[in-house]
Amino acid sequence: MGLNMAKRKAKASPSLISDSVWARVSAEVGQSWELRKELIGRIEAQLNAKVILYFTSFYAEDAMISDNDAEMIENILSVEHPGGKIVLVLNSAGGLALAAERIVNVCRAYSGGDFEVIVPHAAKSAATLICFGCSCIRMSPTAELGPVDPQVKYTNDAGEKEWISAEEYVSSYEELMKNATSGKVSRVEALVQQLMRYDARCIEKLKSAQALSESISIKLLKSGMMSDKAETTIKKKMKDFLIHKQTASHGRMITIPEAKKCGLKIEEIELRSNLWNWLWELFIRANWTVSTRSIKILESTRTGLRV
């Protein structure tokens, strides 16, 4: 009977090995949090800081930065972080300006103001706003920020949904109004017909969104890395970020030299350094996850959250 038990155990062993291999392969295919937490830990040791990974999908519209994200970050920090420097590894196409402001407020509060952002690839729109609120932005020469002018979705003549800059939408309306009321146009009817396609209430809402984005930008910079500058000076220096006309496209990249010229405090990450190698592997793994498995992840060495 003992011999039979031994034989059964011997036969079971290959199955256990097979299960273990299957688990490892499944984790690789699914790019689970366990594959990233070691990389996060290495970056923490290198920077002597609490590191939070925050990635949102560039492909899913409902993946935008939202108020819930600030709450999730606080949930992690309230349990795991006793105080000191916080580094947010950020990759996002953007979202809500007020949500970005709340995230900055949480990170500043738990770090005592010692809050940095690492951009391994791209932090656009509201994600750029988060960068405005940190004390230092770490970027590689290939990483990019972007303009923070609000975007609005509208329906074109073909019935398709498109995104347009709030600045473009408002300025086109104001130009039509100016021409229609100038008294210099012989056929006002054509202009009036075009104006009928606009909703005055929407115009006012967009103007408010533009003012909010500018206000948050200046407030975050004035209370952080540009504390020694007057608000009028900040607004002038940051025009590449605030005004759509300066970059011609909301998606156009603003690189390290351009960001430094605007007055942002940037620390360049050397390509092929250990830090960059860890960050790039982390980016590849995390970006694959939010592009295929989920729309948003928030992770630390102890916590892995997926949306």
Strands (E), the chain: 50-56, 86-91, 115-119, 122-123, 136-139, 144-145, 151-155, 161-165, 266-268, 296-299, 304-306
Q: Maximum distance among all alpha carbons in the chain?
A: 107
Separation CA 166–CA 232 (nearest Å): 22
The rounded distance, in Å, linking the Cα atoms of 150 and 142 is: 25
pLDDT at 19: 53
Please tell me the predicted confidence (pLDDT) of residue 293: 87
Amino acid at 179: N
Q: Alpha-carbon distance 110 to 154, whole Å?
A: 39
Mean pLDDT of the chain: 87
Q: How far apart are CA 146 and CA 71, in angstroms?
A: 25
**Residues whose CB falls within 8 Å of the CB of residue 203, separated by 6 or more in sequence, listed in order:** 169, 170, 173
Question: Global pTM?
Answer: 0.85
Mean pLDDT within 287-306: 93
Q: In the predicted model, is pLDDT for residue 305 greater than 70?
A: yes
Tokens of 86: 């916080």
Q: Enter the tokens of residue 27.
A: 């984790």
Lowest-pLDDT range of 30-34, 112-116, 137-141, 200-204: 30-34
pLDDT at residue 62 in the model: 85
Chain centroid, CA 173 distance in Å: 30
Comparison of pLDDT for 216 and 167, the residue scoring more: 216
Q: Which residue has better confidence, 128 or 186?
A: 128
Residue range 36-85, pLDDT digits in tens: 999 999 999 999 999 999 999 998 878 999 999 999 999 999 999 999 99
Q: Could you tell me if 115 and 108 are in contact, meaning their C-beta atoms sit under 8 angstroms apart? A: yes
Spatial neighbors of 235 by CB under 8 A, at least 6 apart, are 214, 218, 242
Q: Tell me, what DSSP letter sits at residue 49?
A: S
Q: 146 and 124 in contact (C-beta within 8 Å)? A: yes
Lowest model confidence (mean pLDDT) among 86-95, 140-149, 152-161, 166-175: 152-161
**Distance separating alpha carbons of residues 133 and 226, to the nearest angstrom:** 10
Domains of the chain: 33-146+253-306 (3.90.226), 149-249 (no CATH)
Tokens 């105080």, located at residue: 83
Radius of gyration of the chain (CA): 24
Residue 24 binned pLDDT confidence (cut-offs 50, 70, 90):
low
Residue 33 has pLDDT above 90, yes or no: no
Measured CA distances, 266 to 116, 174, 263, 290 (Å): 10, 37, 9, 26
Q: Which residues pair with 254 in a beta bridge?
A: 145
Q: What is the pLDDT of residue 270?
A: 96
Structure tokens at 23: 């688990």
Residue-level pLDDT at 5: 43
pLDDT digits (tens, 9 = 90+) for 256-291: 999 999 999 999 999 999 999 999 999 999 999 999
